[in-house]
Every structure is written in structure tokens, then in C-alpha cells.
Amino acid sequence: MSRRLALAAVLLCALPASAHANPSISVSSSAEGVPGNLPSKVTHRLALTAGATPETVGISALGRLAVSGNSVSVGEQTGVGPSLSRCGTRWDRPHEAFGGLGSFRVSVTIAPFATAFVDSVRQFKRPPWAGDVLDATWELTPAQGVAFDVTSTAPIFEGGYGVELGFTVTRLSAGVYAVQGTAESGVNRGRVELWGYAPGKTRASRLAVARVRDDEWSIPRLRPSRTGRWELYARYRSAGKAFADDASQCGTVVRIR
């Protein structure tokens, strides 16, 4: 390599970082409401600080994004609404602990050494299941580079959790069926009521009641009042503060014969 090329390589290494370098990042959160009561609300804040050159970042997350900060240019915010439940049955009760959240995206340009603040709110509107959390995750897409996620962790929810119900129905003999159900998770008390729409009926009636033990419940011998197409669903009734009343998301169609 010639001396001139070597000198050029040294100077290139000494140049300042690219104008499209990623901003520095920090997160914080604040909780509202009385512990143990719905709604429980957490506001998460993402702080993006530019270096010596302007930074442009695309930001995506669930729920609306509130952007603020001096010397910050904000593009148009676009969004996609939440997916709709399509059970195809009379009983249709989607588990929407957050009340249904859409996905939103916005582009932010930050002036040199300025800071953009992005606030996202997480709030339970219904009792959550064990896997539901109030954390917030943003996907950041730099002007140049690979997209990556940043997560802000929320305090642990201290209220009553909902109960995810499931069940199967097995024919034992003519007009007699066994129902084996689950109640997720960690449920060792309360009861499950099995309800059903009889053939040709528009109102459901309660068919049986079972106690929950070790995440399970059962109805050994269910005898529906008539043959034909039934639609069944389950309701959980709480027996303490640790769990809240809940129900199946969709009806289960069973042909009784």
C-alpha cells in the first residue's frame, strides 16, 4: 500500500461517527391506581437523545404514541386497528385485557443533542390472564441499520387475575357425555358453571356446576335435555381475591345424539 493510501485510511478511521448513528436510549415508567383494583395503568417513557448530528428513527408499538421534546420533528402517526374476534358461535367473548389495542408507527427526527420523549400507556380494562403484563415494547428502526426492540418493564399486577378456561366433551353412551376442563393457571378454588344453547334456543341455560381443583374441573356425566346441535361454554366463579370471574372466549358446538 502506498503512503498516500495508508494516510487516507488513517484519516477515514479518525472521522466522527456517521450522521445516521443510533441515538442513546433510556426508559422509565410510572404506575397509577390502587394496587389490587382495575383499571391498573402504567405510563412508559422512552427517551431518545441524539449525538452531534440529527437522528431519524421510526418507532412502532401497540397503542398510541405521544411524542414530545424540544427540537424534535414528528411525522404523521399511522395505525392499524385491533384484530376482531371471529368465533362463529353465539357465545363470543374475546379475552381483551387491554380493551383492544391497535398498532401505531411514527417517524421522529431529533436535532443534535436534543431529546425526544415517547410515552406509551398500558392499562388493564379486564382482569388479565397469567401471561398478560403491563410492559411496553417499542420497535426502533434507525435511518440506516437494523430494527431492534426496547422494552420497559412494569410493576407486577397485584389484583385478581382472570382464568383461562378450556374443556373437551366425550360421548359415553346415548345422551350421556363426559366433560373434562382446565382452568389456567394456579387455580385451586372457585367453581365452573357449564352453560349451553339448546337446539333452536336463543338463550343459554346452566347445565351443570363443577368445583375447580389443581387447575382442573370435570362433569363426569352430562345429560342434555334433548338431542341435536348444542353450543356450550363455561363460566368461572371466583371464591377469593386472587382470581376474578371469567368465561370461555368462544362457544363449543357439540352434536348430542
Q: What is the pLDDT of residue 34?
A: 59
Q: Are the beta carbons of 55 and 49 closer than 8 angstroms? A: no
Q: Which residues pair with 106 in a beta bridge?
A: 59
Q: What is the pLDDT of residue 81?
A: 83
CATH number of 20-152: 2.60.40
Question: Per-residue pLDDT for the chain (257 aa), expressed as one digit of tens each?
Answer: 444 433 333 333 333 444 445 789 999 999 886 556 666 889 999 999 999 999 999 999 999 999 999 999 999 999 998 777 679 999 999 999 998 889 999 999 999 999 999 999 999 989 999 899 999 999 999 988 899 999 999 988 888 899 999 999 999 999 999 999 999 988 999 999 999 999 999 999 999 999 999 999 999 999 999 999 999 999 999 988 899 999 999 999 999 99
Superfamily of domain 164-256: Immunoglobulins (2.60.40.10)
The Cα 250–Cα 252 span in angstroms is 7
Q: Are the beta carbons of 39 and 125 closer than 8 angstroms? A: yes
Work out whether the CA dihedral 220, 225, 230, 236 comes out positive or negative: negative
What stretch(es) of the chain map to CATH 2.60.40.10? 164-256
Work out whether the CA dihedral 234, 165, 231, 218 comes out positive or negative: negative
Q: Which residues pair with 174 in a beta bridge?
A: none
50 φ, ψ (degrees, to nearest 5): -80, 160
Q: What is the pLDDT of residue 240?
A: 86
165 C-beta neighbours (distance < 10 Å), count: 21
pTM: 0.81
Q: What is the pLDDT of residue 121?
A: 95
Q: Which residues pair with 247 in a beta bridge?
A: 235
